[in-house]
Structure 1
Amino acid sequence: MYKVCLPPMLLALLMGCGPAPESSADKETAVKSDKAASASQRPVIYQMMTRLFGNKQSHNQAWGSVAQNGVGKFADINDKALAQIKALGANYVWYTGVPHHALVADYQAFGISLDDPDVIKGRAGSPYAVKDYYNVNPDLAEDPAKRLAEFDALIARTHAAGLKVMIDIVPNHVARKYESISKPAGVRDFGADDDTTQAYAKNNNFYYIPGQAFAVPDGVQPLGGEAHPLIDGRFDENPAKWTGNGARSAKPGADDWYETVKINFGVRPDGSYDFPALPADYADQSCQAHLAFWQDKDLPDSWHKFRDIALYWTARGVDGFRYDMAQMVPVEFWSYLNCSIKEVNPDALLLSEIYIPEQYRDYIHLGKMDYLYDKVGTYDALRAIVEGKAGTEVLPELFNGMADIHSHMLMFLENHDEQRIASPEFAGDPRKALPAMVVSSLVTGGANLLYFGQEVGEAGAGDAGFGKASRTTIFDYWGVPAHQRWMNNGAFDGGLLSKEERALRDFYRDLLNLAANEPALQGEFADLHLANQTTPGYNNQLYSFARFTEEHAMLVVANFSALDSQSVELSIPRGVIAAMGLTNGEYALTNSLGTGEVSSLHVQQGEGRVHLALAPLASVAFKLR
């Protein structure tokens, strides 16, 4: 029995005791393990939209220019900022929007050609319409002529802070006007050697629509209707190329990825492959075996180009990559690329955005991905629970179904594609997702992601121009209000945060440090939810589970109800008690969330019980040993 005093904004965990439950000796509880989990510190990735992170201006005019709305620079991400990110529990920083992408600005003085606003989304441009893979966004540099050196300095600062660096690679598509002025000697641009008379050729980098010129989609209004010398409803591309999302029309739709063109990886227009299939038994073979398989094969030119790009950034000190829309690129290519990277840096972290669960295992085992987005699964399920559209009864089957790959999943509740938790379109209140964040962060041995501003309840409000409210814009120049209060004009000390925002950030700090460093979270997983369905006081607003190794164990219980306290005598079945190596007796428990209160686990006749009472939205993570 115990009482927890959390900050008021996070609600207290109150003392309580429910009636004794029925014996759970005969209840089946699965103990699941994914042996791929590493014994080292688990990845906790802090994703920042780099152009927004250090921006101190808060004017926030829709379609605003750099002069009006401001832009963050590499230099703004100083030692203090990085130390605070590290203190939050992160061990990786994903610098989103670093490769040079198309944008509406004049950098001709630095040898950079103008980009046409007719094929740019927003004024600042999409970070996923890369124009030059061998350099970085000039907006992010104090001196655009030295932009690459400034990013190199940021890599060095990040490493000195004890953090690793990730950037995006977007193999599926590039900007409509790809033009590298920074490529190393001997490197040819995408499309430079293509036979444009052919819709498809194995070594073409793009797909073409011979005999037809590209036409700007109907309904596109660049810069919100503002006059600009290059805005004329036209873009010179003849023959037209396929659009990034695979649209094969010379005039794509306004909802297509019209600012990009699709890369050809040797997939013919009918979907057949113009390269060897990777034998199924290579799922169990090493990267060395994979590279040996590809060594004497005639591979499409695009494969080599992206390998060279990834190794270029690896050589500059980048420690990992987040791959945009990896499911749109054949798994064989990922085998080749990822093993080429691992040959140079075996510790590189390789993360895939993918939304097709049926393909997860192929991308992990054949494609050699370290981690995959767990959106179509954990994110969707937890969001539904937070929104009151489902109960926690959906979680046991979900987690059981991915038991063999759970340690390869990236868990998140926000990223640049998803609506902010605090937005009215999601929860409307950042507190409502705290139990979901506890489950998301602690249920798996995989990786965790925190999107900048999430930890202080940023709501993503405001019409930014191309980027609309509920998601922090990735297309526009913008100030992020809650984040700017933490940034405090560059002091990075939270000096302008409200009491509630500081409490929220403290909660995230405690949770993410626990997720990164607790050894029990690298071990076995046992669902306790099903075993407690007939326990008095237990319901589908609660979710409970155990994590343990031979030396460490943890019990986690989360209350998703925003209205009701929950009083329960949690039962831990004999099978889980035995798996944790416990015998009859009483075991001290310490709550690793909050202020470290203690309770006890009573084991009698091989079955365990813990008395607890959970206030609305409260969670506990009891450390057993």
Structure 2
Amino acid sequence: MNQVPDRVPNVRLVLEILHSRKGACGADWFVPERWNHAAYRGGTADPGRPGELRVDPCDFFAACIEKALREGGTAQEPGGRKRLTESVIYGMLVRSFTAWPHHDAGEVCSGTFLKTMALLPLLRRYGVDIVYLLPVFSCSDRYKKGRLGSPYAIKDIYKLDAALHDPLLGEDTGELLEAEFQAFVELCHWLGMKVVLDFAFRTTARDSVLIADHPDWFCWIRKECAVGFRAPSLGDGTTTREVNDETLRELYTSSQTPTYLAQFTWSPDRIDPDRWASVRASAGDDLLGAIEDQFGITTAPGFSPVINDQQPPWTDATYLRFYHDNAAQVGKYVADGQAPFVMQDSASLSKYPGAKPTEELWRYVEGVMPHYRTHFGIDGARIDMAHAMPAEHNASIVRRIREVDPKFLLWSEEFDCGKGAQAGRDGFDLISGYTYYDYKRIHDADFARSILDNGFLASPIPVVASVETPDTPRSALGHPDKASLRLILTLNSFMPNAVPFINSGQELLEVQPMNLGLDNTEDGRFVLPPGDPMAGRLAFFDPYCLHWTSGDTWVDAVLQETLRLRRHYLSLLGDPGNFVKQEDLLHHGNLTMLCYHDSTYIDGLVVAANRSLTTELSLRLALEHPATIPVGKEVKIVYDAHGPCRRSVSSTDDVLLSPCEVVVIEIGK
């Protein structure tokens, strides 16, 4: 490409470096054939690496980026706002999305901003206009899980993860890594995509850079207590219980609690100010290690705020102290002189805030999103554990970013759709919901009631529509039969008040989870055949590459087909007010009907699904449709078990739905 548009100066820089280094990176460099959306002709096949191409990497990625530049440029400028329900989100962990064993040695090379921007045109096939990135910040390798450590063990949230620099561009100077991320954002905008980052404010890495200047922002325990450290439990220790005044009373009067609280101690600067000053000055890059050696204390591992949650402790992360004091409800249970501590109440600050905010910490957090908006041009943020942050602080975070960009997209990790109204009042634009769990029960009789009344329709702001997430088991594992998986993928494209979400690897029929955080156990790590190079690995913690050479492409096709159809009817589907709920069908054993009608244009759409695994179902639209929707004598079926179609049928005819079949019917035209 001879001329790179002025709107993308950092893309131009990346291309200049790639062209200057053509031929300098060796001949034995492989990429999956599926990456070759640019029809690059310089690659060769190798019998020993089926499904891959041997390429000149600099030349190959330059060709991919130049193709993206040719495709884009006509989309609306970033910052424009349309209904979120007209969007599609693609979520990824950069370091695994484009990870690959590029060399004969077989070692998995990390995904990078460069390789990921080169693959952006692949996402356009699904109509993706929001690219959601799991944390891309400098993360810790102390107390890390797996070989790489978690992206949520954030050591310095104001600094990018150096591992996301691509060595194809030469040595990282710090400035180059930032230019790579800026180029990624620029190319997303050029293609009409917004960039949303995942921010974790409630927790930080155990050895966070913040310790040096603010050791009092952390809870400390005696080092010998770190092994086996767990939050107190109640009852049998396995039945989850919400945090409320009654359960707090039980927790704080439990026989476990005195022993638990005795593990905590004061911060090193308070224990011995002079020794702290000396250790801080001489520690180098391992300040926490020096504190452990010199003071015998360490930061307290984190844990789930849900009582009796079976998640293991977060040994790589710790809670920040957003208050200098405890909630008023627990003060009567805590002895004078107790060192700062964390329990389930102080992990749930939206319910149990203190009265004395750690003001400087609040200001530090409030500056993070404006920094990434101003320096890199990102368009939005998902706030991890937003539901556990102080409501007052959430409000100040929202206020600060909206002063910088009034249209900045804010996504709350709120699972309970019934709390969507509060999230909206707090300034958030959408919530996560937990539709994965509903789809897990797709064949249950009350599926429609659960996913609609308790899910999408329970929230006044849009809900992320996901059949899997980075924290849950994969949909291809939970629905191993093709018919069921196709059923949930298709329905997910047409839900009301929804923003469809694609989790990276979902389109490749990936079965290995990225994490074991939700609805999983340690056994969930071992779902791949023992001979698979990725067996036992989790993308959150280990070098992991997706199965790009898998020959099965049917999920990819279903996603493209259904989301293309969704885009065709977007003016109808994108307005939640056009959805007409079928109350009498919410408890139907097998039939789910999603009905949309625009009275202004007298047109509508019916999405009918037979959720039975074994039984056919007969549908006569003239009888089954809502009374408020005029059907007419003839309707058009535009999608069925074979994919997109267009055939007219009488509304009085019986339409036979095979087990797990979804049909999409156009009415009123």
Please report the TM-score for the alignment, with normalisation by the length of structure 1: 0.68
The 8 Å contact of residues 529 and 545 in structure 1, kept in 2 or not, is answered as no
**Alignment of 1:124 onto 2:148:** yes
The structure-2 alpha-carbon separation of the partners of 1:503 and 1:271, relative to structure 1 and needing over 3 Å to count, comes to farther
- Which of the numbers 492, 499, 507 marks the counterpart of 1:447? 499
AA at the equivalent of 2:562: L
Task: Give the match's secondary structure for 2:541.
Answer: coil
Q: 2:99, 2:184 → 1: CA distance?
A: 16
**Alignment of 1:458 onto 2:510:** yes
- Which of the numbers 239, 258, 264 marks the counterpart of 2:315? 258
Greater relative contact order, per chain length (Cα 8 Å cut-off, separation 6+): 1
The structure-2 alpha-carbon separation of the partners of 1:571 and 1:379, relative to structure 1 and needing over 3 Å to count, comes to farther
Match of 1:396 in 2: 449
The structure-2 alpha-carbon separation of the partners of 1:320 and 1:334, relative to structure 1 and needing over 3 Å to count, comes to same
Q: 2:366, 2:195 → 1: CA distance?
A: 18
The 8 Å contact of residues 219 and 254 in structure 1, kept in 2 or not, is answered as no
TM-superposed deviation, 1:214: 6.6
The structure-2 alpha-carbon separation of the partners of 1:238 and 1:254, relative to structure 1 and needing over 3 Å to count, comes to farther
The 8 Å contact of residues 203 and 319 in structure 2, kept in 1 or not, is answered as yes
Q: 2:296, 2:666 → 1: CA distance?
A: 64
TM-superposed deviation, 1:358: 5.3
Q: How many residues align?
A: 476
The 8 Å contact of residues 94 and 165 in structure 1, kept in 2 or not, is answered as yes
- Deviation per residue, 1:446-475 (Å, 9 max, x gap): 312100111221111799999923595311
- Deviation per residue, 1:511-539 (Å, 9 max, x gap): 22344562211233223372497xxxxx5
Match of 2:207 in 1: 177
Match of 2:607 in 1: 556
AA at the equivalent of 2:635: A
AA at the equivalent of 1:618: E
**Alignment of 1:615 onto 2:654:** no
Match of 1:591 in 2: 638
The structure-2 alpha-carbon separation of the partners of 1:461 and 1:135, relative to structure 1 and needing over 3 Å to count, comes to closer
Task: Give the match's secondary structure for 2:318.
Answer: strand
TM-superposed deviation, 1:610: 6.1
TM-superposed deviation, 1:230: 13
- Long gaps (5+) in structure 2: 1-80, 231-285, 332-355, 517-521, 528-536
The structure-2 alpha-carbon separation of the partners of 1:254 and 1:558, relative to structure 1 and needing over 3 Å to count, comes to closer
Q: 1:565, 1:267 → 2: CA distance?
A: 62
Match of 1:107 in 2: none
**Alignment of 1:96 onto 2:134:** yes
- Deviation per residue, 1:474-503 (Å, 9 max, x gap): 11001221xx12xxxxxxxxxxx53xx323
AA at the equivalent of 2:449: P
Q: 1:138, 1:502 → 2: CA distance?
A: 33
The structure-2 alpha-carbon separation of the partners of 1:336 and 1:586, relative to structure 1 and needing over 3 Å to count, comes to same
The structure-2 alpha-carbon separation of the partners of 1:410 and 1:306, relative to structure 1 and needing over 3 Å to count, comes to same
Higher mean Cα deviation, 334-343 or 87-96?
334-343
Task: Give the match's secondary structure for 2:633.
Answer: strand
Match of 1:245 in 2: 303
The residue correspondences of 1:500-511 to structure 2 (distance < 5 A) are 501-511=552-562
Q: 1:144, 1:541 → 2: CA distance?
A: 57
Q: 2:555, 2:326 → 1: CA distance?
A: 50
Task: Give the match's secondary structure for 1:422.
Answer: helix
Q: 1:206, 1:516 → 2: CA distance?
A: 48
Q: 1:399, 1:461 → 2: CA distance?
A: 26
The 8 Å contact of residues 436 and 469 in structure 2, kept in 1 or not, is answered as no
The structure-2 alpha-carbon separation of the partners of 1:245 and 1:598, relative to structure 1 and needing over 3 Å to count, comes to same
Q: 2:523, 2:397 → 1: CA distance?
A: 33
TM-superposed deviation, 1:97: 3.4
AA at the equivalent of 1:206: F
- Which of the numbers 75, 84, 98 marks the counterpart of 2:114? 75
- Deviation per residue, 1:287-312 (Å, 9 max, x gap): xxxxxxxxxx9872222111211101
- Deviation per residue, 1:382-426 (Å, 9 max, x gap): 2122xx5x22x3422552345352542111011110101222xx2
- Long gaps (5+) in structure 1: 1-36, 61-65, 104-115, 180-189, 197-204, 221-228, 248-252, 275-296, 486-496, 534-538, 603-608
The structure-2 alpha-carbon separation of the partners of 1:45 and 1:96, relative to structure 1 and needing over 3 Å to count, comes to same
The structure-2 alpha-carbon separation of the partners of 1:69 and 1:40, relative to structure 1 and needing over 3 Å to count, comes to closer
The structure-2 alpha-carbon separation of the partners of 1:132 and 1:600, relative to structure 1 and needing over 3 Å to count, comes to same
What's the C-alpha RMSD, in Å, of the aligned pairs?
3.9
Q: 1:381, 1:467 → 2: CA distance?
A: 19
Task: Give the match's secondary structure for 2:475.
Answer: coil
The 8 Å contact of residues 443 and 525 in structure 1, kept in 2 or not, is answered as no
Q: 1:514, 1:233 → 2: CA distance?
A: 59
The 8 Å contact of residues 122 and 467 in structure 1, kept in 2 or not, is answered as no
The 8 Å contact of residues 120 and 126 in structure 1, kept in 2 or not, is answered as yes
TM-superposed deviation, 1:572: 5.4
Q: 1:462, 1:334 → 2: CA distance?
A: 28
Match of 1:277 in 2: none
Task: Give the match's secondary structure for 2:493.
Answer: helix
AA at the equivalent of 1:623: E
- Which of the numbers 151, 155, 178 marks the counterpart of 2:185? 155
The structure-2 alpha-carbon separation of the partners of 1:515 and 1:265, relative to structure 1 and needing over 3 Å to count, comes to farther
The 8 Å contact of residues 212 and 287 in structure 2, kept in 1 or not, is answered as no
- Deviation per residue, 1:105-141 (Å, 9 max, x gap): xxxxxxxxxxx3xx11111110111111122111111
Task: Give the match's secondary structure for 1:530.
Answer: helix
- Which of the numbers 516, 523, 544 marks the counterpart of 2:593? 544
The structure-2 alpha-carbon separation of the partners of 1:235 and 1:257, relative to structure 1 and needing over 3 Å to count, comes to farther
The structure-2 alpha-carbon separation of the partners of 1:238 and 1:592, relative to structure 1 and needing over 3 Å to count, comes to farther
Q: 2:160, 2:296 → 1: CA distance?
A: 28
**Alignment of 1:530 onto 2:530:** no
Q: 1:133, 1:397 → 2: CA distance?
A: 38
Higher mean Cα deviation, 460-469 or 310-319?
460-469
Please report the TM-score for the alignment, with normalisation by the length of structure 2: 0.63
AA at the equivalent of 1:588: V
- Which of the numbers 422, 429, 433 marks the counterpart of 1:362? 422
The residue correspondences of 1:205-244 to structure 2 (distance < 5 A) are 205-209=217-221, 212-213=222-223, 215-218=225-228, 239-244=297-302
Match of 1:373 in 2: 432
AA at the equivalent of 1:439: L
- Which of the numbers 444, 462, 468 marks the counterpart of 1:408? 462
AA at the equivalent of 1:217: V
AA at the equivalent of 1:548: H
Higher mean Cα deviation, 342-351 or 522-531?
522-531
The 8 Å contact of residues 467 and 473 in structure 1, kept in 2 or not, is answered as no
The 8 Å contact of residues 461 and 469 in structure 1, kept in 2 or not, is answered as no
The structure-2 alpha-carbon separation of the partners of 1:272 and 1:195, relative to structure 1 and needing over 3 Å to count, comes to farther
AA at the equivalent of 2:503: Y
- Deviation per residue, 1:135-168 (Å, 9 max, x gap): 2111111244322221111111221222111111
AA at the equivalent of 1:542: L
Q: 2:311, 2:605 → 1: CA distance?
A: 50
